[in-house]
Structure 1
């Protein structure tokens, strides 16, 4: 039941981020998805994967996989957030430059 709730929360976070990014600029999309990855998707998805693997493996220590997965997902979200913050719009239409 806990695995299902964690997957449900991660799915809800992803769908909420999708709703908030509809019609937004590319910069805003990077920022929203970065925050969603760090706060809503990362912890719950890593929990669900770690506990599922521990149940399949039959060893409680295998659940520590979530301690490895969460920092990876968090860093990916942090990179998305930083890209969104430092993405500058150039003078051309729809052309973005990293600044």
Structure 2
């Protein structure tokens, strides 16, 4: 059941990101994707990957891979967010 809930949250985050991106500039898209990556994708996707891999290998300690995946995905989302914040709008400069 936990897999289903985590998968639903990831899918809802994906749908929300696509819906929030409509009609936005490139800068706004980076900001939206960065926030969604940090909030929805990082914790729940790392949980899904870690637990599923732990079940495949049949070792509970391999589920600790989520402790490695979470910061990596979170930092990727933070970089995307910072790119969006510090990106210059070409529309403003024309």
Coarse TM-score class (shorter-chain normalised):
over 0.9
Partner of 1:14: 14
Higher RCO, Cα 8 Å, sep 6+: 2
RMSD: 0.9
Partner of 1:60: 60
Structure 2: 5+ residue runs without aligned partners? none
Structure 1: 5+ residue runs without aligned partners? 93-99
Runs of 4+ in 1 over 6 A off after TM superposition: none
User: Greater share of strand residues, 1 or 2?
Assistant: 1
User: Greater share of helix residues, 1 or 2?
Assistant: 2
How far apart, CA to CA, are the structure 2 residues paired with 1:25 and 1:89? Answer: 8
> Given the two structures, how large is their TM-score scaled by the length of structure 1?
0.89
